């Protein structure tokens, strides 16, 4: 492989576009290296994706995965605190988007079924869970 496949992936990567601000997202956390935003097809209120800004396909490809998990932990604790839920689930899939991401999901589904919800509702949820000032 000559690297062109990787470059094409980065150019087309929807999460790289979110990092670059080329497409909108409901951000709840951002620092120099990581970003967290609401999943567009949520399975619960506060369903969040935490990503490294650097494009790697798999979580396991990210060199500083310990640091990455510390950020995920901070966000998971925050989502648990704000939602008042004891259970904060998390999973790593990657069936759809080839940019490393970790799902963090506070509480039960409460009727959400991985379907898009109204933008006003998404904005309310973002405002509730944001860690940005």
Task: Give contact residues for ligand 5GP (rule: CB under 6 A).
Answer: 14, 25, 37-41, 49, 93-97, 101
Cα distance between residue 125 and residue 86, in whole Å:
18
| Closer by beta carbon to ligand 5GP, 22 or else 86 | 22
- Answer yes or no: 101 catalytic: yes
Say what angle helices 119-129 and 65-83 make with each other, to 10 degrees.
Answer: 100
Would you call 108 helix, strand, or coil by DSSP? coil
Question: Residue 91 Cβ, how far from ligand 5GP at the closest point, in Å?
Answer: 8
Cα distance between residue 19 and residue 53, in whole Å:
6
Question: Residue 24 Cβ, how far from ligand 5GP at the closest point, in Å?
Answer: 9
The closest alpha carbon to 48, from 77, 13, 84, belongs to 77
Q: Binding to Zn ion by residue 13, rule CB under 5 A?
A: yes
Q: Which residues bind Zn ion (CB under 5 A)?
A: 13, 15-16, 55, 99
* Catalytic site positions: 101
């Amino acid at each position: 492989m000559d690297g062109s496949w990787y470059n094409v992936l980065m150019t087309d990567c929807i999460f790289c576009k979110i990092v670059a601000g080329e497409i909108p997202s409901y951000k709840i956390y951002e620092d120099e290296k990581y970003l967290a935003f609401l999943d567009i097809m949520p399975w619960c209120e506060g369903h969040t994706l935490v990503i490294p800004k650097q494009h790697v396909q798999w979580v396991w490809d990210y060199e500083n995965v310990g640091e990455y998990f510390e950020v995920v932990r901070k966000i998971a604790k925050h989502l648990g605190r704000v939602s008042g839920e004891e259970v904060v689930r998390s999973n790593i899939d990657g069936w759809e988007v080839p940019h490393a991401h970790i799902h963090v999901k506070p509480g039960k589904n409460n009727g959400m079924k991985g379907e898009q919800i109204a933008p006003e509702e998404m904005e309310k949820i973002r405002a509730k869970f944001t860690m940005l000032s």
